[in-house]
Amino acid sequence: MLMKVLSQGLVSLTLLLAPAVRAALPVPGGMTPGAVQFVLEQQLAAPLAPTEPNRLHYGAPWLRVGVRTQTAVLFDEWGRETRRYVVSTARNGVGEKVNSYQTPRGWHQICEKIGDGVEPDTIIYRRRITEWKYTPELHAQYPDKDWILTRILWLCGQEPGRNQGGDVDSYDRAIYLHGAGSHVPFGTPTSRGCVRMRNDDIIELYELAQLGLDVYIDEQQ
């Protein structure tokens, strides 16, 4: 990796030199002059990709849940966006109080993962995997049921007094990112506090997200 970065840096420096000087320099990594010229053209033409590094633990990957945009965006350790999902946060808006049925704000982390290898649409009841499957017909029988399906990423607050401890503790409130049924209008706030995701999306995120991943719930995004 280091050699790749150094080679790319040498390419960039070499390409900025006058042609006569450039011709006398060794080409990095055994690249042909034509390849070097191609790299130069690409680097000059391509805009720099925007980055959003982790403000809590710099250099660590993180997830941002945007309440305004109803999205969850995964960033790598460089702050580069790697995944973007449409979600559904709380119908009652944002807030941290117990029994408010609102989505808490601020810094959290994934402290538990539930649902390894579980099939899509499997119903999870009180954090236990059941033998039952969600169907639209089952939802029609129980339209007010808050279905928790497929995977759970259980969040812990990282800000004492805001989303950690007392009557504002996100973990005690059982705030999850979790799979939800096909009846959910994703992109619209409909949940009872959790962050609802499509089943395929929560399965993918579950595999990508490690325990301890920082999660920032941002009402302005």
At a CB cut-off of 8 Å and minimum separation 6, what does 144 contact?
A: none
DSSP string of 84-133? EEEEE-BTT-B--STTS--BPPEEEEEEEEE-TTPPTTEEEETTEEEEEE
d(CA 14, CA 52): 30
Using alpha carbons, select from 63, 55, 56 the residue that is nearest to residue 208: 63
Identified catalytic residue from 108, 111, 156, 178? 178
Any catalytic annotation for residue 178?
yes
Identified catalytic residue from 57, 139, 183, 194? 194
Any catalytic annotation for residue 139?
no
Amino acid at 211: L
Relative to beta strand 81-88, strand 106-114 is unpaired
Which residue numbers are catalytic?
A: 178, 194
